[in-house]
Structure 1
Amino acid sequence: MPNLPDLEAWAIFARVVEHRSFTAAAAAMGMSKGTVSKAITRLEARLSAGLFHRTSRTLTLTEAGQRLVPHAARMLAEASAAEEAACEEQDQIGGPIRLAAPMTFGIQHVAPAVADFMALHPAVTVRLDLSDARVDLIAEGHDAALRIGNLPDSSLIARRLKGVAVKIVASPAYLAAAGTPTHPTDLQDHDGLCYANAERPGEWRLRSRAGVEAIGRPRTRMTTGSGEAMLPALRAGLGIAVLPDFIVDSDLTAGRLIEVMPDWVPPAVSLHLVTPPGRLRPARIGALLTFLTQRFGG
């Protein structure tokens, strides 16, 4: 193997992973599909390993390819950061940013923050991806993500910004018809609206003010990957749910929902700012991270 790495091929590999297509990656980079294909073939030959499973309709990473994605993404990000650091016009932050965030929190809070950031930096372009599903930052080419919850161990860098209160709620009509639970064991006689992305969607771990832990297992009436999607069923009196304050506070204030079992609380969760590994980042990414930390921190 030659002493110098084929940095162009590594960068092209990272872009193909990001766009999930040779054709789309070639278009994004202003190259021909043939040039992209040759670069990938060249890299595979250097590594003596296939990076993609290719068929006429699909393109998927091999096991070796999956292991190398973080390295390729880090090389591309650090090369971009080095070029920006060498640029003479450091007063003008510009270029593309890809940010991921949860759906409801993203619409309510992140989208306005992104608009303010773009107004401060007119040369910046942003792709804001909103989903309550957990995304693979590295494989999907995100520069950063805002995540709510307890994060699993990974190579990602996470910065805690603030705590997020979680509440047990139901409508007055539901409680009038089904009764009001006072202990987690009472939930077995109630209908639950459950969050699909939880580790155990139908199992609610609760703690009393005195520190006693208990598990509530309601009858699962509805399961969804969006907390906001539970609101119509909640308002219609179809069950009890555990949801963060930014989703339910307006309904609680208006009296459409009532907090249930206030002496029992779900585990605390936090808002995190998550980034791929690597010390060097383009100036635009550093500026965004600082902006989001100031906006949501504390």
Structure 2
Amino acid sequence: MNWDDFDAFCQVVDHGGFTAAARALERPKSSLSASVSRLEEQLGTRLLERTTRRLRLTDAGDSLYRDISKPFSQLRELAVDALAKGTQVQGTLRIAAPYEFGAHHLASVACRVMTRYPALKVQIDVEHARVALFERHYDIVFSALEHRVAPSTVVTKRVYSLERGLFASPELMVRCPAFAGPDDLNALPLLAGGEDHDWPFTGADGSTVVVDVRNPPLRSGNAEVRLQAAMAGLGVARITASFCAPAVAQGRLVRLLPQWQCAPLRIHALLPGRRLVPAKVRVFLDGLEDEAAQQGGATAAA
């Protein structure tokens, strides 16, 4: 009896199919299929029903999975902990991040870490929608968590506090010569983020103003969509300053109310709730914090 075949079966079920499991494990799909077929032959029963659209457990497969999945999961966790005790940085680091953060803040860190540790591979999935926490077996999931609380099964560490500002096209602001403060935003179309309900501001004297985001002409969690809409003159966008810097330099956007501080975009690094943090995760987060310090980004442990 080959225990690797049992593990392959669990991995296929965990990942929802052969293709996803093969990608995560960096194994040929044919190898996983052969493992499951061999296991079915040895047990004398069908474990999975394979169709072109989905994979379904048979009654025998469901029973087997419920009996063995937890022990195999615990063995994998022990293996991860054993590797974490070492100092060798190797394997594949799987990361998911929202577009506004991932596209502009992770590439340089990944390049430096991979140059320093040639045995390490990095996979970065930049997501426009909300990232499903560890559904695809990520090592790190970066999330804004502005209106949510991370599950108790993950470890939360705040890494970045990104400066945000208000941006609009010069053409739009020509039509609004009386614009002077946050209260005047009520007379302008506001381009809202996916979960924006209000925009808080802090003045130089410490005073605060909260602007309700009412009936926005555009609502999108995709910062690139809001950026394009702002450049087209469709409204005012609240986006991270680093993301808008090229458009500002080209004269396609202007920054509004620089004397008022927007609430920053706080990005958290979410890690699976393991007892030990693998070396590949440690070195990446260390590199990210070093870059944050160099760029003036705030770092803190949650």
TM over 0.5, yes or no?
yes
Letter in 2 for 1:190: L
Distance 1:187 1:178 in 2: 10
Distance 1:83 1:240 in 2: 49
Structure 1, unaligned runs of 5 or more = 1-5, 41-51
Aligned to 1:237: 233
Task: State the identity as a percent.
Answer: 25
Deviation of the 1:239 alpha carbon? 1.2
Aligned to 1:194: 192
Aligned to 1:43: none
Deviation of the 1:83 alpha carbon? 5.1
Aligned to 1:153: 150
Aligned to 1:48: none
User: Contact (CA 8 Å) 1:170, 1:260: kept in 2 or not?
Assistant: yes
Letter in 2 for 1:13: C
Aligned to 2:33: 33
User: Contact (CA 8 Å) 2:186, 2:211: kept in 1 or not?
Assistant: no
Tell me which moved more, 259-268 or 244-253: 259-268
User: Contact (CA 8 Å) 1:205, 1:267: kept in 2 or not?
Assistant: yes
Tell me which moved more, 128-137 or 30-39: 30-39
Asked whether 1:222 is paired with 2:218, we answer yes
User: Contact (CA 8 Å) 2:91, 2:119: kept in 1 or not?
Assistant: yes
Aligned to 1:163: 161
Describe the shift of the 1:180–1:127 C-alpha distance in structure 2 as closer, same or farther (beyond 3 A): farther
Describe the shift of the 1:233–1:10 C-alpha distance in structure 2 as closer, same or farther (beyond 3 A): same
Distance 1:182 1:148 in 2: 30
Deviation of the 1:92 alpha carbon? 4.7
Aligned to 1:204: 198
Describe the shift of the 1:114–1:56 C-alpha distance in structure 2 as closer, same or farther (beyond 3 A): same
Aligned CA-pair RMSD: 4.2
Distance 2:132 2:13 in 1: 15
Aligned to 2:296: none
Distance 1:253 1:273 in 2: 30
User: Contact (CA 8 Å) 1:190, 1:218: kept in 2 or not?
Assistant: no
Tell me which moved more, 265-274 or 233-242: 265-274
Residue 272 of structure 1 aligns to a residue whose secondary structure is strand
Distance 1:186 1:125 in 2: 49
Residue 134 of structure 1 aligns to a residue whose secondary structure is coil
Give me the TM-score of the superposition, normalised by structure 2.
0.72
Could you report, residue by residue, the CA deviation over 1:4-52 in whole angstroms, capped at 9, with x for unpaired residues? xx9985675345433x313553684464426437879xxxxxxxxxxx9
User: Contact (CA 8 Å) 1:168, 1:261: kept in 2 or not?
Assistant: yes
Asked whether 1:122 is paired with 2:118, we answer yes
Describe the shift of the 1:53–1:166 C-alpha distance in structure 2 as closer, same or farther (beyond 3 A): farther
Residue 220 of structure 1 aligns to a residue whose secondary structure is coil
Describe the shift of the 1:181–1:83 C-alpha distance in structure 2 as closer, same or farther (beyond 3 A): same
Could you report, residue by residue, the CA deviation over 1:252-279 in whole angstroms, capped at 9, with x for unpaired residues? 4554323324455443332322211111
Distance 1:15 1:282 in 2: 24
User: Contact (CA 8 Å) 2:143, 2:269: kept in 1 or not?
Assistant: yes
Give me the TM-score of the superposition, normalised by structure 1.
0.73
User: Contact (CA 8 Å) 2:168, 2:230: kept in 1 or not?
Assistant: yes
Query: Which of 164, 173, 178 is the matching residue for 1:175?
Result: 173
User: Contact (CA 8 Å) 1:81, 1:281: kept in 2 or not?
Assistant: yes
Letter in 1 for 2:101: F
Describe the shift of the 1:16–1:118 C-alpha distance in structure 2 as closer, same or farther (beyond 3 A): farther
Q: 1:1-298 to 2 correspondence within 5 Å? A: 9=6, 12-14=9-11, 16-18=13-15, 20-22=16-18, 24-25=20-21, 28-29=26-27, 31-33=31-33, 35-36=35-36, 57-59=53-55, 76-82=76-82, 85=85, 92-148=88-144, 150=146, 152-154=149-151, 155-196=153-194, 198=195, 201=196, 203-209=197-203, 210-262=206-258, 264-297=260-293, 298=299
Describe the shift of the 1:54–1:189 C-alpha distance in structure 2 as closer, same or farther (beyond 3 A): farther
Could you report, residue by residue, the CA deviation over 1:155-191 in whole angstroms, capped at 9, with x for unpaired residues? 3212122321111121221011244544555434322
User: Contact (CA 8 Å) 1:98, 1:127: kept in 2 or not?
Assistant: yes
Letter in 1 for 2:10: F
Residue 140 of structure 1 aligns to a residue whose secondary structure is coil
User: Number of matched residues?
Assistant: 277
Tell me which moved more, 206-215 or 69-78: 69-78
Distance 1:181 1:60 in 2: 59
Deviation of the 1:108 alpha carbon? 2.4
Could you report, residue by residue, the CA deviation over 1:45-73 in whole angstroms, capped at 9, with x for unpaired residues? xxxxxxx9986522489xxx9xx999976
